[in-house]
Amino acid sequence: MRKIKNTIIFMVTVAILTMFCSCCKRSEIKLGSGNEGGIYYKFADTLSDIDENITNIRTAGSQANMRLLKDGFINMGIVQSDVLSEAVNGTGDFNGNKINNARAVAALYMESFQIIVPADSDIQTPADLKGKKVSVGEEDSGVAKNAEYILNSVSLDYNMIDVRNMNYQKSAEALKNGSIDAFFVVLGAPCDIITQLSEEMDIRILPLDDRTISYMTNLYDGYYETVIKAGTYKGIDEDVKTVGVKAVLVASQKMDSDTVADITKMLFEENDQIKKRISFANNDTKFATDNIPCAFHKGAVEYYNSIGTAITEEDQI
């Protein structure tokens, strides 16, 4: 009888310990990123290396990430702040399809609008893209929307260029072999895809003039005048004026607060590790929290409050 009793106690103890361990282990976090030539994919890959619970999910980019988040296919995503703004307000490409479950975690870095052409191209300004073969990024990507805005700023639209929807890697390859005349990129600078391309062929980045910059910054207050510094890429010997937009990490409202707080903390406490792969990764909480177009996740607010970064009441859930 004692032997049976001890066996039962042992089995109950094992069951309790198994349940305890299962509870302690976090569930898989599916993080929507972008195409493999972009920074979103690289950033998500870096986070998954730091936290084994994070799985990098390749997607078409910002717009796709918002829709996947809404439908529950991913728990977190990286998106441009302008796409995030349209999604949570039900405007633009999200007209009638408002995303209610997205919550901000942090702005990760500033992305720069880059229009890449061969160095010997006769294309000098965005207006010269008329009639040209131009890759504007994948469908459902933020860059496709930004390309349209830049074209509109010089009285062009998609009907006035030969549009190609290609990811960054295919765009770079197409520019090298001459099958396109230019392609749009919205990435932090320097980015690997353009760095490599500049080593393989002579390129230029089209500067944006004051009219286009004013058009863009008036269109959305989350667009910023920025500069791609001389020397960022091989052959870029002068500063290039352009426009930037924040890349923002968002989470589903349903995500556990402790998990989101831990990930927010990781972004800052593991920033040196992240910077080894993404040199321009942000480590400033002011940049991370200023001018973000949706409410912050409760877990992120808990972290920011713990380090003395105030989140205004209207920016909380």
Of 245, 270, 303, which marks where a domain is finished? 245
pLDDT at position 312 is 66
Based on the fold, state whether residues 121 and 234 are members of the same structural domain: yes
pLDDT at position 294 is 96
**Containing structural domain, residue 126:** 111-245
Based on the fold, state whether residues 41 and 139 are members of the same structural domain: no
Based on the fold, state whether residues 124 and 239 are members of the same structural domain: yes
pLDDT at position 79 is 96
Structure tokens at 259: 């998990």
Averaged pLDDT, groups of 10, the chain, 317 residues long: 50 46 67 90 97 96 94 97 96 94 98 97 98 92 90 97 95 97 96 96 98 97 97 97 98 97 98 96 96 97 95 60
CA 133 to chain centre: 26
Structural domains counted in the chain: 2
Q: Are 149 and 180 in contact (CB under 8 A)?
A: no
Of 190, 217, 245, which marks where a domain is finished? 245
In a domain? residue 256: yes
pLDDT at position 316 is 55
Based on the fold, state whether residues 151 and 213 are members of the same structural domain: yes
Structure tokens at 6: 């001890």
Residue 154, domain CATH: 3.40.190.10
Q: Give the separation between CA 258 and CA 266, rounded to whole angstroms.
A: 12
Structure tokens at 180: 């396109």
Based on the fold, state whether residues 144 and 240 are members of the same structural domain: yes
Q: Are 213 and 243 in contact (CB under 8 A)?
A: yes
Angstrom CA distances, 214 to 142, 206, 226, 296, stand at 20, 16, 12, 29
pLDDT at position 24 is 47
Of 245, 275, 293, which marks where a domain is finished? 245
pLDDT at position 60 is 87
In a domain? residue 20: no
Structure tokens at 232: 């960022």
In a domain? residue 23: no
Based on the fold, state whether residues 150 and 106 are members of the same structural domain: no
